[in-house]
């Protein structure tokens, strides 16, 4: 699991690109922060939910995104990752 406490925006963007490229079987070099998830990649709400779940699994961070309109681009998904509500607890502290 990546340590999102020290992840910067570029690293978050790279993680989102890697996750999207795996799920869509795309060359990551074709994706940028401005790639539209809906218009360029055809994402729907299920795809967005799967992306959020994959990012949560990769980082342990809960992303508080309520609808697809908040995730128009890869860059917005990366910012949502950085703005997440923190690391998931692994059990009682």
Q: To which residue do tokens 């998904």 refer?
A: 77
Helix and strand element counts for the chain (H, E): 3, 0
Domains of the chain with bracketed CATH = 4-82 (1.10.1200.10)
Q: For residue 26, what are the CA distances in angstroms to 47, 73, 75, 80?
A: 15, 16, 17, 22
- In three-state secondary structure terms, 86 is coil
Alpha-carbon distance of 12 to 25, in angstroms, equals 19
* Confidence class for position 68, pLDDT limits 50, 70, 90: low
> Tens digits of per-residue pLDDT, 9-60?
999 999 999 999 999 999 999 999 999 999 999 998 889 889 988 998 998 8
Alpha-carbon distance of 71 to 90, in angstroms, equals 27
Question: Taking the model in full, what pTM does it have?
Answer: 0.82
Is the pLDDT confidence value at 92 over 90? no
């Amino acid at each position: 699991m990546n340590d999102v406490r020290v992840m910067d925006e570029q690293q978050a963007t790279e993680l989102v690109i890697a996750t999207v490229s795996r799920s869509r079987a795309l060359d990551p070099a074709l994706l940028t922060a401005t790639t539209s998830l809906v218009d360029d990649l055809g994402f729907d709400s299920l795809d967005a939910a799967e992306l959020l779940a994959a990012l949560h699994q990769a980082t342990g961070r809960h992303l508080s995104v309520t609808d697809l309109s908040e995730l128009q681009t890869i860059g917005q998904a990366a910012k949502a990752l950085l703005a997440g509500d923190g690391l998931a607890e692994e059990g009682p502290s």
